[in-house]
Amino acid sequence: MKGVMKSKNKTQANRMLVTNQQNPKSKVRYGGSRWGIYSFFVLSGQAVATLLGRLYFDKGGNSKWMSTFVQLAGFLLLHPFYCTLLPKNSTTDSIDTDRPPALTFAFLYVSLGILQAGMCLLYSYGMSNLPVSTFSLICASQLGFNALFSFFLNAQGFTFFITNSLVLLTISSALLVFQSDDSSDSKKITRGKYIIGFLCALFASAGCAPMLSLTQFAFKKIIKRNTMRGMMDLIIYQSIIATCLALAGLFASGDWKVLKKEMEEYELGKVSYLMILIWIAAGWDVFNIGAVGLIFEVSSLFSNVISTLGLPIVPVLAVVFFHDKMDGVKVVAMLLAVWGFVSFMYQHYLDDSKFKAERENATQVSQASTSEEVQI
């Protein structure tokens, strides 16, 4: 009987060890250098691309479809690296008979591409009709949407601190509905356009949530390759679909006809016009690599948390470079959003402590079982 109990204890301990090793959260602990780099990509890419995106509209740019296109077309900068430097892992792919058929991958890339194109178009409308500080604060609500979708798709648990975080972020975004017209930037924004911009930014944030959660789900259930190649495949192929849709919209809307005139009449000149668009594309591309990398290394919710961490950065930079006004409503909204972020990170700290305790306990049980067997 004792032998059976020891065998069960050892089996349970081994299972706990295997589960801990396979748990994606463990990558946060042991892949710190990678997710540190990805976090930097998210924060820097988001800040640069958001500010330049607003600069495009502030100095004479009007095309929402061009703004959408450059948010997506940055993957072209990655293409040489993707084709020449990344290993193809053909032997691994041929041996892996568990992988879904090509049609499943096609459906995945098309679905994510459509979501990404729609989200970027809504972001363009939001950015063109809102001060950049207000826009970035509204985008913080995507953390709440993402937690909700992660609950259904990726079994993300809801605790007091996560719920508190969602409530605070919701209130933070809701406060901005009551923003007065006096807080708009140098390019006067009417109340009607403000409401349209607010709704577009809010719906874009809501659309970002299922896309990130579906990306995490795809890594777990469909792609099943913990390699850089698998991550880049997802970025490249979904970006191809999204960019083609944006390009089709650019021509279907007729915006392409006025681009030459827009460039010639741009306040900062033709060269600045082109450079701003190129750096917007590069900024969002860096952001996408970081966001998908964090999903790959940790989870979609953690990726969104790091994105929200950049919340105080953009509004402060907007005050410096665009002279946005930080009135009382915006300050309260920012404080609530930061409070929500801290609440979420505290829950992450508790999960981390629990994970370490379980891992140490599993190791001790395994060692005790092994030593008892040796004595016998």
Name which of 297, 303, 296, 237 is nearest 72 in CA terms: 237
pLDDT at 58: 87
pLDDT at 2: 45
Q: Which amino acid is at 265?
A: E
Helix (H, G, I), strand (E, B) or coil at 271: helix
| Distance from C-alpha of 116 to C-alpha of 122, rounded to nearest angstrom | 10
Question: Per-residue b/e over 41-51, b at no fewer than 16 CB within 10 Å?
Answer: bbbbbbbbbbb
Burial zone of 32 (CB within 10 Å; 0-12 exposed, 13-18 middle, 19+ buried) = exposed
Cβ neighbours of 58 (radius 10 Å): 20
| Residue 140 DSSP label | T
Residue 223: half-sphere exposure toward Cβ, Cα within 13 Å: 23
pLDDT in tens for each of the 376 residues of the chain? 444 444 444 444 444 444 444 444 444 444 557 778 888 898 889 888 988 998 899 888 889 999 999 999 988 887 777 777 565 654 444 445 567 788 888 898 999 999 999 999 999 998 888 877 778 777 777 767 776 776 766 556 667 887 787 777 777 766 766 655 444 444 556 778 888 888 898 888 888 777 877 887 787 788 776 677 777 888 889 999 999 999 999 999 988 998 999 999 999 999 999 999 999 999 998 998 888 888 877 777 677 777 776 666 777 777 777 776 767 777 787 788 778 778 877 877 787 788 777 777 777 777 677 666 666 6
Helix (H, G, I), strand (E, B) or coil at 166: helix
pLDDT at 188: 59
